[in-house]
Structures are given as C-alpha cells and as structure tokens.
Chains A and B, each alone.
Chain A
C-alpha cells in the first residue's frame, strides 16, 4: 500500500512539475478546455433561467373574449357552459376589469377625464389541456361569428410557443454537449500525444528497464485529470463572467416587460458536474493517446 502511494505520489509530483515548467502551454490548454466547457454551460444556464420563467406561466391555453356593449351576456354564458372544449368559464364585468386595472397601475381615479368606463365586458375561458391548437383556432373563429363578440385573444399561445422553443433549446443543448465532448476528447488526446512525443525517449528507456504500462500511463492520466478539473473551473468562470456582463442588459429588457428576470449564475452543482465531466473527458482522451503509443512496445 505504501509502495502504491509512493508510485502515485511520484507521478503526481512529476506531473505538477511538468505542468508548471510549461506555463504557457498549460494555460493555453486550460483556456481551450474552459472555452469548450463554457459554451454548453452558458446555454444550459440560459435555458434553465428562461425555463424557470416559463414554468410560472399558465400553460393551459386561455382565451379572452371581449364583448360589444350590446352583447347578450346571458345567452353567451349558456352557450359557453355547454362547450365541451372548455374547462372553465369566467365572466369579468367591465367594472371588475377597471378595478383590477386600477390596482395594477396603482391609481384610483383612472376615470377622471372620462365620461364612462371604456373597458368592455369579457369572458376569460380556459380550454382543456388536451384540446389541440387547431381546435382552439376553430373555437376562436366560432366565437367571432357571434354578433355580441368584438375580439378574441388567444392569451397563452405564446407561452406554449415559448415552452416548445425551450424544448428545442434543450435538444440543441444535447447536440452541442455531444459535439463538444468529442472535441474535448480529441483536443486532450492530441495534447497528451504531444507530451508523449517530447518524452518518447524516457518512455522507451523506462519500458526497456522494466516499467509497467501503468507506470508510463500514470503521469499522463494525472496531467489530463488535473487539466480537466482546472479547465472545468475555467469554463465555469468564463460562463459566470459572460452572464455577469450580460445580466444588466437582460434585467433592463425584462423590466421593460414588467418582469424581474436575470440569468442564473453557475452554482456548486453545475460547478461539480462541469469539472467532473471535463475531467472524465480529458482522461478518456489521455487514455486513448497513451494506449496508442504503448501499443508499439512489447
């Protein structure tokens, strides 16, 4: 056991020495790993932030039916109550609408300059979840044929679209992660191959005088693992920096829509997952490069 620790300690100290002896090469490689890792992490954080907002929105499609002043509310209510496509029907008289608006804006005398309440009566309809979008459009058209109906607004259609866009984003993220993971394995494999080439003589002599394959492999694996973890940290740093730089502008945009919203910064879980992933991918690249090289010795 002591022997085993000694061999690993030796490999680790040599690896750290080698990394510190070539600071520029090390930093360049860390930057590459960091950039590669920051891209999917940034995309992930964007999606979770936007997804968090979307989750708070009503996902059941809502229709708001604005009525003309002469509309027959009673008949319409009876008709809507019979419609199987609707889960809920709520009548909002124009006085209630005005009160809601006043409390939202914070002003008690909106009617100050007006002779009467300009808001229309309205029905807020919630369709059943399983009603397809095409059926909702038909319902909208039906309602418009009623002489008492002024306009119909499909309220939550955009929320559904947002949800679909986020789902698309998640798929895109998977593709990006997959491609960049392959890139990371190749980049690290190549970097380790270069390290092997500069130490080819040492490897040859070591093999000739009785080094096991693991003895040869160990420093390269340590090198890849250390660079993977540091590169992962760099990636989180890059993503956090980019988000911190973007957030004031994002906040202003969201405020213009009356929503408090900021992109999330990477937390400890993201940090751990990114570092573990980059470490494993770098290890895989190193393992492959060393395996290829060691194959040539008996």
Chain B
C-alpha cells in the first residue's frame, strides 16, 4: 500500500508540473552599437540571439537557396563591395538581369523600408523576396526548405536558433535578418569627424585617425553640409548618412521605371526612389537605382550641372533652374575627398560578416 501511494504521488506530480514542450533556449545576442549611434529597434517577434545570428550568417552565404545551387545572398551583396554588386544589374541563375542596382547592406537595422521602391516594410519581408524571384534565385521556398532539411547541421542550427523543430521560410528570413542587423558600419574617418565636431569622447584610435584627417577632407565636409555649397545634407544627414525618404533627384524627364509610384499608385511619387546611405559610397559603385553612373565623379557632376526637371522632382533640388549646385573643379575634388572618408574598412573586413565556410 505504501508503494501504491508513492507511485500515485509521482504520477500526480509529473502530470501537474511537466511542461508541454522541452525546447532549446537561444542565447540573447548583444548588438555592438557604436556609442554615437541611436538604439536599434528590434522586432518583438524576432529577438536577436547568438544562434540566430550564426544561422543567418550561414544562410546569407548558402547557395542552396537558389534553384541551381549557384547563388547566395552574397552573390549580389559581396563583402568587398560593402555588400553590394559592382555590376550595374545583378544576373540571376537563369542569366536574366533586373533593372535596378543591388543596394549596399549597411546599417539596415535603422531603416524603415527596403528595396529602391520601399515595397518591403521590414528586413524579414525583404529577405523573403529574392529566393522565389524568377530573375534572381528562382526557387520556390518549399524546395529551398526541403534542401535545408536534408542537412543535419541546419536542422540542429534551426532548432537551436528558434527552440523548436522545423524549418520554414519565415525562420530563414528571421535568421538572415538577425545577421544583417549585426552589419553595423561606424568606424570610418567620418565617424571620428562627427564625434569630434560634436564634442563626443574620442578613444586613442580615434585620436590617431583625427590627426590624419586632412584640411581638404574637412573642407569637403563643410561643402557637403553647406546649403549654398554642395547641399548634400538635405538627403544625407546625420550619423547614418541618409534620411528615410523617397526622392526624385532629377535624373530623367520621363521614366521607364516609375519607382515608388508603382507601389503606391500615387502619380506624385512617380520617379521617386529610396535615398540610400552614403556610407562606404566609394566601394559601392555603380550609383543610382539603375546603376547609371560608374564613378563618383559622374555622380558629383550630375548634382553639379546635370539635373533634369520633371513633374515629380524633389522640391529640395533647389538649384534645378541652373542645372545643379554649380561646383567648380576644386570643390568637386574636395567633395570627393570627403566622400572617401565614409569608407569603413573595418566593416568590410569584419570576420564576423564573412563566409563561415571559408
């Protein structure tokens, strides 16, 4: 009878206290945000975890996400080009090209919309698009998931990242989004200039960089900010070097690609495209949504003298009537010198962002 009582108690305790699911609890990931940057808002449904970031990094370089196992995200967002594509248009697995230049992946954790036309409102949404896109990786998500499920390492990594069995497209996009949120660029010469001009603390390395900044680079920065100079500040301001906005920057009088207008259906937004960051701009040629400019000189010349009017041009193109801001050759040179200070070599060579299989 004693035994019956003991067994009864054990059964009752087991039934009343057991959890329904025993899963893995992922390790929280602490983002390394530079001291002069704002906080990053992380979506509540996709918290940063070490396992999620590691998985996202693997998936970013995973060629099995494409139909013929030849393309990964990195194919069009290569580290040496600050995670952009040096080609005007990227070529998909079937040899088909799109009509827009691949955007650089820098500090995306602070952005509010994605793609040149802003059609994705979250990183997670953005990541879902290239895999099934026929002119990109051209593979149904179901097929991509089957490939991943055949790999025991991935099965384990997904389990550790999400605390449950199973792989699906949502988990893939969440993991890659976590990885991309870690891709923070804040170690350029410009960062030291920004900190110095705003009396923010400089460490020893910053001090060394500060002493290397030339008068021409400072003069270029002044020109960059001046409303009567190059007037870049209207669209490329603050520590992130961009604003969250769409703009028609005077490239064309008529449009073959109507950009934001195709998403909203608003005729006032025809020809408007997302304003990109200028960080690492020297590494991310070609420029503009259609990669029409191969060099920074061409870009500067556009804003200096080649603006074209159209009904939806941004009112901030205030020098439109004279074709642009009319920089002389010395000013163009100074401006270019400043733009080179935006290059962050630590960012592109950061081992945490490279292919984990190499």
Q: A and B bound?
A: no
- Interface, chain B (partner A; CB < 8 A): none
